[in-house]
Structure 1
Amino acid sequence: MDTIEWGGVRVTRIGLFENAPLPPAAFFPATDRARWEANRSWLAPAHWDPDADRVRIAVQAWLLRSAGRTVLVDTGLAADSARTGVHPGGVSLVEALAAAGVAADDVDTVVNTHLHADHVGGNTRFDSSAGERVPAFPRARYLFSRADLDFFDSRTLTEQPGRSAVVHAESIEPVLRAGQADVWEGGHVIDEHLHLEPAPGHTPGHAVLSLTAGGERALFVGDLLHSPLQVLTPEVSSCFCHDPATAARTRRRVLEQAADERALLVPAHFGGARAVEVAREGSRFALTGWAGFPAGAA
């Protein structure tokens, strides 16, 4: 397992799988192909397959051991082939956590940075004795933003209503029924090192998890960044952003914060070394270093 420590908080990457779903022009509608070619030397192969012209991403979760708590950040796609938004390979998050020495009962808090299928799929499991889906982590409190809960309410949602309704019914509603959800607005403190901040645009309730410990800082930024090229072009949003203009403004704000506070950025889907340091270059930004997670397959 890939584990590093920041200021006494242990962070383990729980890899599920990697793929190359779309070409840059489809993934980032406002992208400039020349920019990809100009940065080929470091984008390939971890973040871009230039031969196939496909953006490479990872689906992974982050396990944090902080202040005596076990915190899971995002839960990936479902590993149940009967569900919408299924990851290949059939390895569940619970199985991947077990390989890291963590049982489902050990998890105290589940943070969903937002409520897209590839961030909530491991929230639940099918209980054959009950004949229904139940929370996969029976002791955990699940943190949902009010804005995303309202937006993805299957009774009112108009964007991808069929797909999103299945995701909501199977990954969100069982947690609500079990009384394990904590719904937050404006911000949420998890412990002395971890707190959630609104970062809207990708979804209305998208959040950033801030880690501050021992003089070190990291920002788990979810889908604020899908490619490190967006550090150089923060105005470019992905095709999956519900509000691209707001996402771009939020991206710039968080990049400014990361540069000014020397905070490491930990996006949900980066391959390679997984996390990056940034700095200001006038009104733009530059990548100045990578985190210590080993590069490689999921």
Structure 2
Amino acid sequence: MISWTVGDITIHRVDEIALPPQTGPWLLPGATADVVARHAWLRPDFADRDGVLRLVSQSFAISADGLRILVDTGIGNGKTRENPAWHDLRTGYLDRLVAAGFPPESVDMVILTHLHTDHVGWNTRAEGGEWVPTFPRARYLTSRAERDFWAGYDMDEARRQMFRDSVHPIEEAGLLDLVPVPAEGAEVAPSVHLVPTPGHTPGHVAVRLTSGGESALITGDCVHHPVQLLYPDIGSCVDIDPEQATATRRALLASLAGAGAGAGALVLGTHFPPPTAGRVIADGPAYRLAPVPPSRPEGGRPGR
């Protein structure tokens, strides 16, 4: 398994699927091939030779404070989805989660950065013709602002279906905790904080991990792809508030590359393809990602 260490914390990457090439032009329409071609460091890892973005669906499984924590749960298997790339998947995600040392019954906490279809899918799995919580011992956490927003939103049928199969079952099981997340963030474990990063959705949070003087940040969808480090104003076609999303991204990147508390954090992108993790550094008027190799890559040998 691929993993990184941050102080006493271990972060495992749990792969679900590589998203198809058409995902990039749809999701980040401003990231054209011409834009990508200006920056050689994006290729071949983050874009192909034709300038098409590479994106993935993955989770991060974390050992921290004696807890087993999962950040986001991907798309899920066997679910009816409007997007053909997400419809009725049959992936080995759970097997990979087990291989990382996180069998479903061992997970203590599931953090949902936001309630979009590709971040909540493995909240549940099919059992006896019903959708049941995949992680029956876990507390599922999301921000109160996030759930309150969707409660008042006029959803289309595709989104209602997602809530029926991936959100309502954990609510009905009494497993969903709604966390107030003020501007300064919210502590959900001694080493784990939710950071408000609104715009993509109103209650979106990133996840900050701190241990032994080191830190990491899991982006969720406040940053979808490293091209947004170069062009923070490139937004997603599904941002609820594009202006807020851009402002959030600019402030977050400045803090990660600056001299403040967040500077030097290991950044792990929820949709970043391998190498997945890196540090945000200044690149002229904007930023770029300096990849950080895993502490333990595939094959079990420590990274250098």
Q: Given the two structures, how large is their TM-score scaled by the length of structure 2?
A: 0.87
Kept in 2: contact 1:209–1:220 (CA 8 A): yes
Please list, as runs of the form range in 1=range in 2, the aligned pairs for 1:22-37 lying within 5 A after superposition. Answer: 22=22, 25-31=25-31, 33-37=33-37
CA contact (8 A) 2:124 2:131 kept: yes
Measured on the aligned residues, the alpha-carbon RMSD in Å equals 2.2
Task: Give 2:188's match in structure 1, choosing from 187, 190, 193.
Answer: 190
252 and 295 in structure 1: CA distance in 2 versus 1, 3 angstrom threshold:
farther
> Aligned residue for 1:245?
243
Structure 2 counterpart of 1:278, one-letter code:
V
Aligned with 2:29: secondary structure? coil
SS at match of 2:246: helix
Q: 1:84 to 1:146 in 2, by over 3 A?
A: farther
Q: Indicate conservation of the 8 Å contact 2:82/2:158, yes or no.
A: yes
Inter-partner Cα distance in structure 1 for 2:88 and 2:215: 33
**Residues 173, 228 of structure 1: alpha-carbon distance in 2 compared, 3 angstrom cutoff:** same
Q: After superposition, what is the alpha-carbon deviation per residue over 1:61-86, rounded to whole angstroms, capped at 9, x for unaligned?
A: 00000010000000100111545663
Query: What displacement does 1:222 show?
Result: 0.6
Q: CA deviation at 1:28?
A: 2.4
Between the aligned partners of 1:199 and 1:3, the Cα distance in structure 2 is 25
Equivalence for 2:100:
100
The range that moved more, 95-104 or 68-77, is 95-104
91-100 vs 165-174, greater mean Cα deviation: 91-100
Letter in 2 for 1:17: I
Question: C-alpha separation between the residues in 2 aligned to 1:226 and 1:295?
Answer: 23
**Equivalent residue of 1:152, what SS?**
helix
Query: What is the aligned length?
Result: 288
Say which is worse superposed, 115-124 or 72-81, in terms of deviation.
72-81
Q: Distance in 1 between matches of 2:215 and 2:252?
A: 13
Counterpart AA for 2:269: P
Q: In structure 1, give the amino acid aligned to 2:256.
A: A
**Contact between 1:17 and 1:60, CA under 8 Å: does it hold in 2?**
yes
Tell me by how many angstroms 1:33 deviates. 4.2
Between the aligned residues of both structures, percent identity stands at 35
Q: Does residue 149 of the first structure (1) align with residue 144 of the second (2)?
A: no
What residue number does 2:233 align with?
235
> 1:158 is matched with which residue?
154
Distance 1:29 1:110, change over 3 A: same
Per-residue CA deviations over 1:251-275 (Å, capped at 9, x if unaligned) read 0111112112211211100012101
Counterpart of 1:8 in structure 2 is: 8
Q: Does 1:90 align with 2:90?
A: yes
Determine the structure 2 residue equivalent to 1:292.
293
Letter in 1 for 2:154: T
Matched, 1:171 2:172: no
Instruction: Please name the residue that 1:49 is paired with.
Output: 48
Confirm or deny: 8 A CA contact 1:27 1:55 kept in the other structure: no
**Pairwise CA distance, 1:93:** 3.5
Change (3 A) 1:25 1:63: closer
Does the Cα contact within 8 Å between 2:61 and 2:71 map onto a contact in 1? Answer: yes
Looking at structure 1, the residues matched to 93 and 166 of structure 2 have their Cα atoms a distance apart, in angstroms, of 13
1:255 to 250, 253, 269: 253
Q: 1:117 to 1:44 in 2, by over 3 A?
A: same
Which runs of structure 2 are paired with 1:42-81 in the superposition (5 Å)? 42-51=41-50, 53-81=51-79
Quick one: distance in 2 between partners of 1:114 and 1:271?
20
The residue number in structure 2 matching 1:119 is: 119
Structure 1 residue identity aligned to 2:106:
D
Q: Residue 171 of structure 2 aligns to which amino acid in structure 1?
A: L
Look up the match of 1:201.
Answer: 199
- CA–CA separation in structure 1 for the residues paired with 2:21 and 2:154: 24
C-alpha contact (below 8 Å) 1:274/1:295 kept by paired residues: no
Q: CA deviation at 1:25?
A: 4.8
Question: TM-score normalized by structure 1?
Answer: 0.89
> How far did 1:115 drift?
0.7
Equivalent position SS for 2:164: helix
Partners of 1:236 and 1:295 in 2: how far apart? 31
Distance 1:20 1:125 in 2: 24
| Letter matched to residue 95 of structure 1 | D
Task: Select the structure that is richer in strand.
Answer: 1
2:46 alignment partner AA: H
Alignment gaps of 5+ in structure 1: none
Letter aligned with residue 277 of structure 1 = R
Tell me the CA shift for residue 23 of structure 1: 6.7
Using the TM superposition, name which of 189-198 and 88-97 deviates more. 88-97
Shift of 1:35: 2.5
Structure 2 regions of 5+ residues with no counterpart?
299-304
**Separation (CA, whole Å) in 2 of partners of 1:284 and 1:45:** 21
